[in-house]
Amino acid sequence: MTTARVHDQTVCLLGEGPLWHPERGELLWFDILGRMLHMEGRHHRLTELSSAAGWIDRDTILLAQKGALLRFELTTGQGERVAGLDEGNPAVRSNDGRADPWGGFWIGTMGLKAEPEAGAIWRYYRGEVRRLVPKVTIPNAICFDPGGTHAVYADTEAQLVWRQPLSDRDGFPLGEREQFLDFRGTDLNPDGAVFDAEGNLWIAMWGSGKVAGYGRDGTPLEEFAVPATQSTCPAFGGEGMSTLFVTSAAAGVPQADLAAAPESGRTFAVETGRKGVPEPKVIL
Protein backbone atom coordinates (compact mmCIF):
# COMPACT_ATOMS: atom_id res chain seq x y z
CA MET A 1 0.00 0.00 0.00
CA THR A 2 1.16 3.55 -0.74
CA THR A 3 2.03 5.35 2.50
CA ALA A 4 0.72 8.81 3.34
CA ARG A 5 2.60 11.90 4.48
CA VAL A 6 1.37 14.23 7.21
CA HIS A 7 -0.44 17.16 5.60
CA ASP A 8 -1.04 19.07 8.83
CA GLN A 9 0.38 18.54 12.32
CA THR A 10 -2.83 19.55 14.12
CA VAL A 11 -4.10 16.64 16.21
CA CYS A 12 -7.88 16.14 16.10
CA LEU A 13 -9.86 14.21 18.67
CA LEU A 14 -12.26 13.31 15.87
CA GLY A 15 -11.09 14.65 12.53
CA GLU A 16 -13.83 14.64 9.89
CA GLY A 17 -15.36 16.38 6.88
CA PRO A 18 -12.30 17.28 4.76
CA LEU A 19 -13.28 19.66 1.94
CA TRP A 20 -10.96 20.87 -0.80
CA HIS A 21 -12.28 24.33 -1.58
CA PRO A 22 -11.91 24.70 -5.36
CA GLU A 23 -11.93 28.51 -5.38
CA ARG A 24 -9.53 28.92 -2.46
CA GLY A 25 -7.29 26.00 -3.41
CA GLU A 26 -7.01 24.85 0.19
CA LEU A 27 -8.24 22.14 2.51
CA LEU A 28 -10.79 22.65 5.29
CA TRP A 29 -11.59 20.00 7.91
CA PHE A 30 -13.26 19.58 11.28
CA ASP A 31 -12.47 18.26 14.72
CA ILE A 32 -15.97 17.29 15.83
CA LEU A 33 -15.22 16.68 19.49
CA GLY A 34 -12.76 19.59 19.66
CA ARG A 35 -15.39 21.92 18.14
CA MET A 36 -12.92 23.32 15.63
CA LEU A 37 -12.83 24.15 11.93
CA HIS A 38 -9.28 23.88 10.63
CA MET A 39 -7.84 25.58 7.57
CA GLU A 40 -4.28 25.75 6.39
CA GLY A 41 -2.70 28.16 8.85
CA ARG A 42 -5.98 29.22 10.48
CA HIS A 43 -8.41 27.73 12.95
CA HIS A 44 -11.96 28.69 13.95
CA ARG A 45 -13.39 27.67 17.31
CA LEU A 46 -17.05 26.66 16.99
CA THR A 47 -19.87 26.85 19.50
CA GLU A 48 -21.35 23.42 18.72
CA LEU A 49 -20.27 19.97 17.60
CA SER A 50 -19.70 20.50 13.86
CA SER A 51 -18.76 17.96 11.25
CA ALA A 52 -19.06 18.77 7.53
CA ALA A 53 -19.45 21.57 5.01
CA GLY A 54 -20.08 22.49 1.41
CA TRP A 55 -18.76 25.64 -0.25
CA ILE A 56 -21.05 28.51 -1.27
CA ASP A 57 -18.46 30.97 -2.60
CA ARG A 58 -14.81 31.80 -2.01
CA ASP A 59 -15.31 33.02 1.56
CA THR A 60 -18.51 31.26 2.63
CA ILE A 61 -19.48 27.67 3.42
CA LEU A 62 -22.61 25.87 4.54
CA LEU A 63 -21.56 24.36 7.85
CA ALA A 64 -23.38 21.44 9.51
CA GLN A 65 -23.49 21.39 13.28
CA LYS A 66 -25.60 19.96 16.07
CA GLY A 67 -29.14 21.20 15.45
CA ALA A 68 -28.53 23.54 12.52
CA LEU A 69 -27.00 24.41 9.18
CA LEU A 70 -25.08 27.70 9.15
CA ARG A 71 -23.87 30.12 6.52
CA PHE A 72 -20.32 30.50 7.83
CA GLU A 73 -17.84 33.23 6.86
CA LEU A 74 -14.31 31.85 6.62
CA THR A 75 -12.70 35.29 6.94
CA THR A 76 -14.46 36.35 10.14
CA GLY A 77 -15.49 33.03 11.70
CA GLN A 78 -19.06 34.27 12.04
CA GLY A 79 -22.05 32.01 11.38
CA GLU A 80 -25.69 32.69 10.53
CA ARG A 81 -28.40 30.07 10.84
CA VAL A 82 -29.83 28.88 7.51
CA ALA A 83 -32.03 25.99 8.65
CA GLY A 84 -32.63 23.62 11.52
CA LEU A 85 -31.23 20.09 11.50
CA ASP A 86 -33.43 17.80 13.60
CA GLU A 87 -33.30 20.65 16.12
CA GLY A 88 -36.12 19.19 18.20
CA ASN A 89 -33.91 16.23 19.08
CA PRO A 90 -31.08 17.36 21.39
CA ALA A 91 -29.72 13.79 21.64
CA VAL A 92 -28.27 13.82 18.10
CA ARG A 93 -25.47 15.66 16.30
CA SER A 94 -24.38 16.04 12.70
CA ASN A 95 -21.87 13.63 11.19
CA ASP A 96 -20.80 12.93 7.60
CA GLY A 97 -22.06 15.17 4.78
CA ARG A 98 -21.35 16.39 1.25
CA ALA A 99 -22.77 18.71 -1.42
CA ASP A 100 -24.59 17.11 -4.35
CA PRO A 101 -24.40 18.07 -8.06
CA TRP A 102 -27.75 19.93 -7.93
CA GLY A 103 -26.60 22.43 -5.31
CA GLY A 104 -28.10 20.52 -2.41
CA PHE A 105 -26.34 19.25 0.70
CA TRP A 106 -26.75 15.80 2.25
CA ILE A 107 -25.96 15.44 5.95
CA GLY A 108 -26.23 12.60 8.43
CA THR A 109 -27.21 12.83 12.07
CA MET A 110 -26.44 10.30 14.80
CA GLY A 111 -26.96 9.78 18.50
CA LEU A 112 -24.48 11.50 20.80
CA LYS A 113 -23.57 8.06 22.10
CA ALA A 114 -24.20 6.28 18.77
CA GLU A 115 -27.51 4.92 20.01
CA PRO A 116 -28.95 2.33 17.59
CA GLU A 117 -31.00 3.85 14.75
CA ALA A 118 -31.15 7.27 16.46
CA GLY A 119 -29.88 9.12 13.39
CA ALA A 120 -30.96 9.80 9.84
CA ILE A 121 -29.75 11.21 6.52
CA TRP A 122 -31.14 14.59 5.50
CA ARG A 123 -30.94 16.85 2.48
CA TYR A 124 -30.92 20.63 2.35
CA TYR A 125 -32.24 21.82 -1.02
CA ARG A 126 -33.47 25.27 -1.96
CA GLY A 127 -34.23 26.32 1.59
CA GLU A 128 -35.84 23.07 2.76
CA VAL A 129 -34.42 20.28 4.90
CA ARG A 130 -36.00 16.91 4.19
CA ARG A 131 -35.31 13.57 5.85
CA LEU A 132 -34.33 10.98 3.24
CA VAL A 133 -33.24 7.94 5.26
CA PRO A 134 -34.54 7.21 8.79
CA LYS A 135 -33.17 4.91 11.48
CA VAL A 136 -29.43 5.13 10.80
CA THR A 137 -26.95 4.49 13.60
CA ILE A 138 -23.72 6.01 12.21
CA PRO A 139 -24.31 7.67 8.81
CA ASN A 140 -21.20 7.89 6.69
CA ALA A 141 -19.75 7.61 3.16
CA ILE A 142 -22.20 10.15 1.69
CA CYS A 143 -21.00 10.97 -1.84
CA PHE A 144 -22.20 11.18 -5.43
CA ASP A 145 -21.25 9.39 -8.61
CA PRO A 146 -19.58 11.94 -10.93
CA GLY A 147 -22.17 11.13 -13.59
CA GLY A 148 -24.94 12.17 -11.21
CA THR A 149 -26.79 8.88 -11.49
CA HIS A 150 -26.66 7.83 -7.85
CA ALA A 151 -25.58 8.55 -4.30
CA VAL A 152 -23.94 6.16 -1.91
CA TYR A 153 -24.03 6.16 1.86
CA ALA A 154 -23.16 3.81 4.69
CA ASP A 155 -24.21 2.87 8.16
CA THR A 156 -20.83 2.18 9.76
CA GLU A 157 -22.39 0.21 12.60
CA ALA A 158 -24.19 -2.09 10.16
CA GLN A 159 -21.04 -2.42 7.96
CA LEU A 160 -23.15 -1.80 4.85
CA VAL A 161 -22.82 0.65 1.95
CA TRP A 162 -25.95 1.46 -0.05
CA ARG A 163 -26.40 2.83 -3.56
CA GLN A 164 -29.39 5.10 -4.18
CA PRO A 165 -30.54 6.08 -7.72
CA LEU A 166 -31.26 9.79 -8.08
CA SER A 167 -33.57 11.87 -10.22
CA ASP A 168 -31.62 13.68 -12.94
CA ARG A 169 -34.05 16.59 -12.56
CA ASP A 170 -33.55 17.55 -8.92
CA GLY A 171 -31.30 14.93 -7.32
CA PHE A 172 -33.88 13.43 -4.97
CA PRO A 173 -33.94 9.65 -4.44
CA LEU A 174 -35.60 7.80 -7.30
CA GLY A 175 -36.82 4.28 -6.59
CA GLU A 176 -35.40 1.81 -4.11
CA ARG A 177 -31.84 1.76 -2.82
CA GLU A 178 -29.68 -1.32 -3.36
CA GLN A 179 -26.95 -2.87 -1.27
CA PHE A 180 -23.59 -2.06 -2.84
CA LEU A 181 -20.92 -3.28 -0.40
CA ASP A 182 -21.32 -5.68 2.50
CA PHE A 183 -18.54 -5.80 5.08
CA ARG A 184 -20.41 -7.85 7.66
CA GLY A 185 -18.28 -10.63 9.07
CA THR A 186 -15.07 -8.65 8.46
CA ASP A 187 -13.08 -6.13 10.48
CA LEU A 188 -13.81 -3.38 7.91
CA ASN A 189 -15.95 -0.46 9.08
CA PRO A 190 -16.85 2.00 6.30
CA ASP A 191 -16.50 5.63 7.36
CA GLY A 192 -16.26 8.64 5.02
CA ALA A 193 -15.98 8.15 1.26
CA VAL A 194 -15.46 9.99 -2.03
CA PHE A 195 -15.69 9.16 -5.73
CA ASP A 196 -12.87 9.72 -8.20
CA ALA A 197 -13.40 11.02 -11.73
CA GLU A 198 -13.75 7.48 -13.11
CA GLY A 199 -16.55 6.58 -10.74
CA ASN A 200 -14.48 4.48 -8.33
CA LEU A 201 -15.39 4.73 -4.66
CA TRP A 202 -12.72 5.36 -2.00
CA ILE A 203 -13.71 4.56 1.59
CA ALA A 204 -11.85 5.34 4.80
CA MET A 205 -11.98 2.26 7.00
CA TRP A 206 -12.38 3.10 10.68
CA GLY A 207 -10.07 0.95 12.77
CA SER A 208 -8.00 -0.22 9.79
CA GLY A 209 -5.78 2.78 9.02
CA LYS A 210 -6.47 2.86 5.32
CA VAL A 211 -8.59 4.09 2.43
CA ALA A 212 -9.82 1.27 0.21
CA GLY A 213 -10.98 1.62 -3.38
CA TYR A 214 -13.86 -0.16 -5.14
CA GLY A 215 -14.84 -0.13 -8.79
CA ARG A 216 -18.29 0.59 -10.18
CA ASP A 217 -19.22 -3.06 -9.78
CA GLY A 218 -17.82 -3.29 -6.25
CA THR A 219 -14.56 -4.96 -7.28
CA PRO A 220 -11.77 -4.15 -4.79
CA LEU A 221 -9.04 -1.90 -6.16
CA GLU A 222 -5.87 -0.66 -4.45
CA GLU A 223 -5.58 0.59 -0.89
CA PHE A 224 -3.77 3.58 0.62
CA ALA A 225 -2.42 3.34 4.16
CA VAL A 226 -2.30 6.14 6.73
CA PRO A 227 -0.32 6.01 10.01
CA ALA A 228 -3.44 6.18 12.19
CA THR A 229 -5.79 3.29 12.84
CA GLN A 230 -8.88 5.51 13.04
CA SER A 231 -8.96 6.86 9.49
CA THR A 232 -12.21 8.78 9.06
CA CYS A 233 -12.80 10.54 5.73
CA PRO A 234 -11.07 11.13 2.37
CA ALA A 235 -11.24 14.06 -0.05
CA PHE A 236 -9.48 14.62 -3.37
CA GLY A 237 -7.72 17.93 -3.92
CA GLY A 238 -4.40 19.57 -4.58
CA GLU A 239 -2.79 20.21 -7.94
CA GLY A 240 -4.58 18.19 -10.58
CA MET A 241 -7.04 16.92 -7.94
CA SER A 242 -4.78 13.87 -7.53
CA THR A 243 -3.96 14.17 -3.83
CA LEU A 244 -6.14 12.18 -1.45
CA PHE A 245 -6.44 13.96 1.90
CA VAL A 246 -7.48 11.76 4.83
CA THR A 247 -8.59 12.85 8.31
CA SER A 248 -8.20 10.70 11.40
CA ALA A 249 -9.14 10.54 15.08
CA ALA A 250 -7.09 10.30 18.27
CA ALA A 251 -9.96 9.99 20.74
CA GLY A 252 -10.47 6.52 22.11
CA VAL A 253 -7.17 5.13 20.88
CA PRO A 254 -5.55 3.04 23.66
CA GLN A 255 -2.32 4.48 25.04
CA ALA A 256 -0.31 1.51 23.79
CA ASP A 257 -1.65 2.04 20.27
CA LEU A 258 -0.87 5.76 20.40
CA ALA A 259 2.73 4.90 21.17
CA ALA A 260 2.83 2.74 18.06
CA ALA A 261 0.93 5.31 15.93
CA PRO A 262 1.88 8.77 17.26
CA GLU A 263 0.43 10.49 14.19
CA SER A 264 -3.12 9.53 15.19
CA GLY A 265 -5.52 12.45 14.85
CA ARG A 266 -3.52 14.23 12.17
CA THR A 267 -4.57 14.87 8.58
CA PHE A 268 -2.67 13.06 5.83
CA ALA A 269 -2.06 13.37 2.10
CA VAL A 270 -1.47 10.57 -0.39
CA GLU A 271 -0.32 11.06 -3.98
CA THR A 272 -2.59 8.51 -5.60
CA GLY A 273 -2.04 8.77 -9.33
CA ARG A 274 -5.82 9.00 -9.57
CA LYS A 275 -7.90 12.11 -10.13
CA GLY A 276 -10.88 13.41 -8.19
CA VAL A 277 -13.51 15.92 -9.21
CA PRO A 278 -14.08 19.36 -7.65
CA GLU A 279 -16.87 19.49 -5.08
CA PRO A 280 -20.03 21.20 -6.38
CA LYS A 281 -21.12 24.43 -4.72
CA VAL A 282 -24.13 24.64 -2.43
CA ILE A 283 -26.95 26.90 -3.60
CA LEU A 284 -28.82 28.54 -0.73
Report how far residue 29's alpha carbon sits from residue 50's, in angstroms, rounded to the nearest whole number.
Answer: 10
In the chain, how many H helices and how many E strands? 1, 25
Q: 214, 222 in Cβ contact below 8 A? A: no
Element (H, E) at 231: strand 231-237
List Cα–Cα distances, 264 to 18, 29, 36, 37, 267, in angstroms. 16, 15, 17, 18, 9
DSSP string, 232-258: EEEEEESGGG-EEEEEE--TT--HHHH
Kindly report the length of the chain.
284
Give CA 67 to chain center in angstroms.
18
Catalytic residue among 191, 196, 217, 257, which? 191
Catalytic status, residue 191? yes
- Which residues carry out catalysis? 191
